[in-house]
Structure 1
């Protein structure tokens, strides 16, 4: 059943963002992405700090080694992003950030290749993280998958808008986004068959998952939220952030109640 869960979650996560993009207009997507960014910030940070990291430290592994793995994970994702292989594109023309004309063409790069390659690597890493979480504990797997999907939706929607504005047709942008999303399924399979036999690595993989969540939140999402906004937009931003945190608190509280 564990492999079934991994395949189901990784496949559904990649499909969800494509389905949302296909159903809604670009104008509406541009308006909702900023709320989804606030929501995913709350979900990612609270999942990492209140659930995944505590699970890793309760495993009995050496705390010093776990903190070293956390530092290494943060540096790893920093270097990946430096190489433009770990992208989280929520930025696009018309998102309220006053980007210059042709910004989306620059974001997409030649033919949109950098967006698609970066997303595929990002999704592959997410698949491995989901597999490791399910192998450690099914409940942890579902919570980790929830956090990843919460972030994947605004990321993939942002990429979709960038590709459209860079000249891709709607069908082509949706198709390539779907192909990129399926890299998570491949990552899930690799995680299950390659990482699965090495159970002593699970606490370190959970820390790696947390480093990914914390890095994306602090390096990409929170800077987007730190802008001067009308008070109504600020209240909405805080509200969506709080919804993400409260949701994870309820889920984590439910687990500890057992």
Structure 2
């Protein structure tokens, strides 16, 4: 779905989606995933500071992986153009396209594992994680599609391979769900990895893209969309829903007392 949406959004104000995705990823990492991970780590007898140690390890790990081109989130900056410059090597470009597909497949498989861990923690958290990843993947699949076209793939083949890579997330999700179900003690660690992934993508990839577009009007629009992403996660988060439900229950408990008091007065 992210692949199809990404291609449909090509040149249709997709930069607004970048800001929305950045806000959603930041909110998911800081407001939902890290608190859930910390709760799980504390239940296992670890200190509160251990969360930040694992978070640091995750951030450094994603930095190293990107340097090794396993997670190449912002390769579209280098390959969006389709004009072949002097000395263009079609065979080399084709190999580059296949490397992008391999890296994207691994990345999608990992996304599936992260979504599975979130679902095992809380169903609503799982859906929020899936939506947040989907917002980013729309742009990611758009960039993959552009790279494959530049590498000499036809539009049909590029779309088919991009969709096939997207299905790796389903495989990762199914395997992750069954594996992590038997090893629930690992779920908090996977949540920390998920949070570090979201933070790294937002800060190292999406926000630089946002800052590349200058101007007051563009800045205000970007800020508004980023805040919309944060608000979306906060409003749909399990914590907010729980708080709202608690307030409703308290109101229902207080209502009979108020009714009895009013009758006694009358």
TM surpasses 0.5: yes
- The 1:53–1:108 alpha-carbon spacing in structure 2 relative to 1, beyond 3 Å, is farther
- The corresponding residue for 1:133 is 118
CA displacement, residues 72-113 of structure 1 (integer Å, 9 cap, x when unaligned): 111221111111011224735797xxx795489999662501
- The 1:105–1:229 alpha-carbon spacing in structure 2 relative to 1, beyond 3 Å, is farther
Are residues 1:55 and 2:29 paired?
A: no
The answer to whether the 8 Å contact 2:118/2:126 transfers is yes
Are residues 1:156 and 2:105 paired?
A: no
Aligned match of 1:221 in 206, 220, 242?
206
Q: CA deviation at 1:17?
A: 2.2
The answer to whether the 8 Å contact 2:108/2:166 transfers is yes
- The corresponding residue for 2:20 is 39
Distance 2:118 2:104 in 1: 21
Distance 1:234 1:170 in 2: 34
Distance 1:212 1:109 in 2: 28
Q: CA deviation at 1:254?
A: 2.5
Give TM-score scaled by structure 2 length. Answer: 0.80
Give TM-score scaled by structure 1 length. Answer: 0.82
- The 1:37–1:108 alpha-carbon spacing in structure 2 relative to 1, beyond 3 Å, is farther
- The corresponding residue for 1:238 is 223
List alignment gaps of at least 5 residues for structure 2.
246-266
- The corresponding residue for 1:13 is none
Distance 2:215 2:79 in 1: 17
Q: CA deviation at 1:230?
A: 2.4
Are residues 1:193 and 2:174 paired?
A: no
List alignment gaps of at least 5 residues for structure 1.
1-15
Are residues 1:169 and 2:154 paired?
A: yes
What RMSD, in angstroms, separates the aligned Cα atoms of the two structures? 2.6
What are the residue-to-residue correspondences of 1:62-211 with 2, within 5 Å?
Answer: 62=46, 63-89=48-74, 91-92=76-77, 102=84, 110-211=95-196
CA displacement, residues 161-194 of structure 1 (integer Å, 9 cap, x when unaligned): 2222332211011011011111111211221122
- The 1:105–1:58 alpha-carbon spacing in structure 2 relative to 1, beyond 3 Å, is farther
Moved more, 169-178 or 237-246: 237-246
Q: CA deviation at 1:51?
A: 0.9
The answer to whether the 8 Å contact 1:90/1:154 transfers is no
Name the larger-Rg structure.
2
Distance 2:89 2:244 in 1: 50
Are residues 1:18 and 2:12 paired?
A: no
